Structure 1
């Protein structure tokens, strides 16, 4: 782990220099050595490796370097047992990322940092999906994450609203003591939480897992950061499960990156009428593995079962209300239900309210109702 202040300053200067990203940084290190050695080289040495424009930029220390260095040192010193920075070549750098084409040069970590070295792709599964999931999608994500965590897998996601947050919650609920429940890979600096509504969730993840970022402290939640961080989510994992996704969803970026990295892709099917299922159906047509239960994933990954808990989603058919069978599993409006059931409006609304209070039906925007199945 990176603890020497001079070495930290050399790394930060390298990555804060305009025009130098992870790829260029790796190119410079391959040719000239670690960052401290790079800064001891001459301008002509740099110019043999990078463009004249970048070599010129390297000659000028970035204005923000010293404030960033002070803030980073203070951040590390505030919690040495729970905060760390690891670099390429560091023994604590997650080995799974080294097998990808574009590993981050620098990785900030917060939480159970003593587990960084033990992170292996065959022990982790990425879970991604819509920021605006259906009620059934949220239930599916929570149940899959909980069951997979109970079985010993670490759930990797992005701390975003919707499926990400629910997946982290399910993993935290299912994990046994001492197990890395979940990893959140974020698109900001680790001195801030985005979205703010996930502040408490982030604290819980740090207690039972890890929060990782390649971005320096102070980095705001810029839109371009989130698609880029997805390669780390998939890279840390043996496979990626897409729970719900529209056709233009960022979750499909993660799935494509998983395929590029030689990892498995799984997708949960949904209603043919739901826009949130279109992305999953497209992935399945392209070769993603259709899954209906956590057991499907565990068997495909050849993961050992560490739990006796049920690994499927089940409904209580013995006590099922007749109205549920008329609802089906697609969103439906009141007029359609009246046509199906023959019930008058007051009786139908009363039955729907009872089912809603029992957690078997969710009320959706636009006057729609949808049956939900709980684990």
Structure 2
């Protein structure tokens, strides 16, 4: 990481050079057998020989207006940092994309950048089932792999993804989420996520390529999205319209050669039109964690255990712990079908009476021929087992 005022000034200047991207800078550095950190030592006439304009050379050597703001922010907390393209902390996964950021501001545990990540994006106005299914799937993923969940701190699916990872982190004592911001590292957007922002800062990592005090702007979010997908091995889309930032992130993922996963939904769910379109285009239809591990098998704990078992056939390996699903969806743990569940059991008729859309209790009573009071008891059991969830309007089937 860089810490001196001169280093910060220099790297900010690199980002401000007009009409010269990272490819041009790397080509210049390669030509003179140096690094990006040492381009300042290349003589002006040599840069001119490569086609640099006088204003570009001047920008490289001038002071940058954000330098002091960056220094003030950096000195405000020991867990803050600035990672440049030449730093050891810069993730190799991100270097592989076409327009990798020259520098990134971090607040939190920057070691998470070196871990395998799954990007999760989706609607800012998701359905109840979209939030619930995202929570359940990610809980499963987190329990069965070391993946870090990376998202954009936006409303809806982004927030649910961070919350699920934070709930898991609190239990395991490990940070498992990264929030990539589309504004300055010290700016909370949306403002209602101030508490979530602080929880991620303390238990995960906040990341931005924009200096402190830069306000959010529509033109900045696509730049954020390329980093979200670029950091990750794959991108999971959970509820998204055709014209949405989520599909922009998926497009970046495809261009970057990463996996794209899409969760299906009810065909009448307008919020999932983008997911269904992605599936038609070849994205992996994703209903459970195993669908992700089929494409990223090296990350599955089960795969690692199997490999270890083959090395040591006499060793007894502990099975992953399964957690029951209770409570509100923002902190719900992984839900797995109980081994004793019998699809032919008479009680499964009750499950068949509940739709994947919200089903009123009187409709369930009519379909099953049972009293409402009896159904409440049975539905509570199914809710605790993770097959249904209750809403103010009725019940919604999750699995089964």
The TM-score bracket by the shorter chain reads 0.7 to 0.9
User: Is residue 279 from structure 1 mapped to residue 280 from structure 2 by the alignment?
Assistant: no
Give the 3-state SS of the residue equivalent to 1:2 in structure 2.
coil
Counterpart check, 1:206 vs 2:201: yes
> For residue 90 of structure 2, what is the aligned residue in structure 1?
93
Q: Which of residues 222, 233, 242 in structure 1 aligns to 2:228?
A: 233
Segments of structure 1 that go 5 or more residues without pairing to the other structure are none
In the alignment, what sits opposite 2:315? none
* Structure 1 residues 220 and 319, CA gap change in structure 2 (3 angstroms): farther
Partner of 2:48: 47
**TM-superposition CA deviations, 1:302-338 (whole Å, max 9, x none):** 123284226556699989899985662236899xx98
Give the equivalent residue in structure 2 for 1:65.
64
SS in 2 for 1:328: coil
CA distance in 1, matches of 2:395, 2:72: 50
1:200–1:4: structure 2 CA closer, same or farther, 3 Å change rule?
same
Question: Structure 1 pair 39/129, CA: closer, same or farther in 2 (3 Å)?
Answer: same
For residue 374 of structure 1, report the CA deviation from its aligned partner. Answer: 8.1
Question: Is 1:239–1:258's contact at 8 Å kept on the other side of the alignment?
Answer: yes
Distance 1:200 1:3, change over 3 A: same
The match for 2:181 is 186
Q: CA RMSD in A?
A: 3.7
Q: Which residue of 1 aligns with 2:357?
A: 330
The answer to whether the 8 Å contact 2:286/2:292 transfers is yes
Alignment check: 8 A CA contact 2:131 2:156 kept: yes
Measured in 1, the distance between the counterparts of 2:133 and 2:251 equals 22
CA contact (8 A) 1:16 1:62 kept: no
Alpha-carbon distance change, 147 to 327 in structure 1, aligned in 2, over 3 angstroms: closer
With over 3 angstroms needed to count, the CA separation of the structure-2 counterparts of 1:191 and 1:20, relative to structure 1, is: farther
Residues 145-167 of structure 1 show CA distances to partners (whole Å, capped at 9, x for unaligned) of: 22222232110111100100000
Shift of 1:10: 1.0
Structure 1 residue 128: Cα displacement = 0.7
Which segment drifts farther, 307-316 or 174-183? 307-316
Q: Aligned residue for 2:150?
A: 156
SS in structure 2 at match of 1:65: coil
Instruction: Identify if the C-alpha distance between structure 1 residues 256 and 319 changes in structure 2 by more than 3 Å, giving closer, same or farther.
Output: farther
Change (3 A) 1:235 1:60: closer
- Contact 1:313 / 1:374 at 8 angstroms: preserved in 2? no
Is 1:298 aligned to residue 325 of structure 2? no
Contact 1:128 1:240 in 2 (8 A): yes
* In 2, Cα distance between equivalents of 1:271 and 1:102: 36
> How many residues end up aligned between the 2 structures?
354
Contact kept in structure 2, 1:145 and 1:167, CA below 8 Å: yes
In 2, the alpha carbon distance for the partners of 1:235 and 1:61 equals 27
- Inter-partner Cα distance in structure 2 for 1:253 and 1:22: 21
- Equivalent position to 1:360, from 371, 389, 395: 389
**CA contact 2:127–2:271 (8 Å) conserved in 1:** yes
Distance 1:28 1:213 in 2: 26
Q: What is the SS of the residue equivalent to 1:59?
A: helix
Distance 2:348 2:229 in 1: 41
Which residue of structure 2 lines up, in the alignment, with residue 38 of structure 1?
Answer: 39
Q: For the Cα contact (< 8 Å) 1:26–1:105, is it kept in 2?
A: no
CA deviation vs aligned residue, 1:277-299 (integer Å, no higher than 9, x gap) = 21111111111111211232234
* Deviations 1:251-295, CA, capped at 9 Å, x for gaps: 111112112222111111101111112111111111111121123
**Contact 1:43–1:59 (8 Å) recurs in 2:** no
CA contact (8 A) 1:147 1:309 kept: no
Deviation at 1:174, TM superposition (A): 1.6
- Whether 1:253 aligns to 2:254 is no
**For 2:19 and 2:105, how far apart are their aligned partners in 1?**
21
Question: Partners of 1:360 and 1:319 in 2: how far apart?
Answer: 20
TM norm structure 2:
0.76
Residue 5 of structure 1 corresponds to which residue in structure 2? 5
Structure 2 gaps of 5+ residues are 303-319, 324-333
